[in-house]
Amino acid sequence: MSTMLNLLDAYDALPQARALREHTYAGLGGTVVDVGCGGGRVVGELAARGVAAVGVDADPAMVRLAAERWPGAEFHVADATALPLADGSVTGYRADKVLHALAEPAAAVAEAHRVLADGGRAVLVGQDWDTFVIDSDDAARTRALVHARADGMPHPRIARRYRNLLLDNGFTDVTVEVHTIVWTGEGALPLLVNLGGEGAWLDEQTARAREDRLFVAVPFFLAAGTRAR
């Protein structure tokens, strides 16, 4: 748990990640559910802006941590396909870096349609796990690590399907953007460790970071749509 939370915290601290996170808040309205809320940062930030935000995560330990970090904010343990919300009860739905881990991502998007009010906005954000770009002297090993990590996910390439998922579930005015997060220093090392790198491969990346020669880029896809009135 601490490893995952540390990884999320390291990512969230990046200026590029912060800018993307804040960009996702646009148009969500006054009542928002953040699905896969993790440590609760988004709920806390939205609440500070006067939004009635609710965080939902399937992991009870994450929900406990979120509640500790953001006292007074509302968090629930629940599955993304069965949210503890009434029909049409929120103006905004947000799912960031979560659909790839779900057994039924399409069912989660259908649930987003259910809980959103007419005219509400759904925002899906996430990386395509096959498109990590890492500069390395060992291209074959790097490619193998990226693909092995992707193959361990239930839906590693779901981000490239965000637009179709929204269209298939009754959303209109669907848009798609790509925002690439770039690391060139030691802040990328937790990500590379999580990728499964070790030994000589990780030693090379660590040396690159120390010598200001590291390069990691990950495209994040942001798709948004409106629940038809």
Q: How far apart are CA 129 and CA 10, in angstroms?
A: 18
State the CATH number of the domain containing residue 41.
Answer: 3.40.50.150
- Single-letter residue type at 144: A
Which tens digit of pLDDT belongs to each residue from 77-131?
Answer: 999 999 999 999 999 999 999 999 999 999 999 999 999 999 999 999 999 999 9
Residue 209 domain-assigned (yes or no): no
Tokens encoding 210 = 């120390």
Residue 102 lies in a domain: yes
User: Per the domain annotation, does 148 fall within a domain?
Assistant: no
pLDDT surpassing 60 at residue 155: yes
Residue 174 resides in a domain = yes
pLDDT tens column, 52-87? 999 999 999 999 999 999 999 999 999 999 999 999
pTM, entire model: 0.94
User: What local confidence, expressed as pLDDT, does residue 1 receive?
Assistant: 47
190, 221, 206: which is closest to 5 by C-alpha? 190
Query: Would you say residue 38 lies in a domain?
Result: yes
Q: How many domains is the chain partitioned into structurally?
A: 1
Whether residue 205 lies inside any domain: the answer is no
CB 5 within 8 A of CB 27: no
Give the residue numbers spanning the domain of 16: 2-128+154-181+218-227
Task: For residue 88, tell me if it sits in a domain.
Answer: yes
Rg for the chain, CA atoms, rounded: 18
At 166, the pLDDT band (50, 70, 90 cuts) reads very high
